[in-house]
Amino acid sequence: MNIEKKIRLLTIAVLVLIATNAATIATIFIHPFSSEVEDVRTRRDMHERFKAAGFSPKQMNMLKQTRGQWRDENRTAMQRTKELRHALHQQLLSETPDTAEMSRLIIEIGKNYQKMKRLSVKQFLMVKPHCTKEQLHMLLQGDEQMPRGEGKGKHRGQDNNQCE
């Protein structure tokens, strides 16, 4: 092989490697994360349920707006509750649990649950005047139990925290 063919071959190889690296880097930044994909599926399912219940596009838009504020406040309260529960578990597992601290943590957990319930009631009352009775019953089905995490691996260390 003469020198020109070697240079041409090396140039092609370098261009292929650059294109591969650029595609890999672009995939990292552009590819949606799994939680975002799950949110899209959940939103699509919710949209279908609302549509089946006879919600108008105007009603669904209003629900979307109120749900955004509720979701942000509820996530903050849920995160705080998780932190408090973790602190309570640490107290329970310690050699000498502090009962006063555990009582304080239990009270704080209860306050956070109250806050989450108030947020749900506030959102429901904002939407209530715009819905039929059937639609209201459908909305209340989502409030039957306290929201908790789905356990889909976002907290990978939890399985290792079990007592033996």
Q: How many residues appear in the chain?
A: 164
Work out the average pLDDT over 71-77. 85
Domains of the chain: which residue ranges? Answer: 55-143
Tell me which of 47 and 94 has the higher pLDDT. 94
Q: Where are the alpha helices (DSSP H) in 94-129?
A: 99-127
Tell me which of 94 and 27 has the higher pLDDT. 94
Enter the tokens of residue 132.
């039929």
Distance CA 21, CA 17 (A): 6
pLDDT of residue 38: 53
pLDDT digits (tens, 9 = 90+) for 132-159: 787 777 777 765 554 455 555 555 555 5
> Maximum distance among all alpha carbons in the chain?
84
Q: Give the class (CATH, top level) of 55-143.
A: mainly alpha
SS3 153: coil
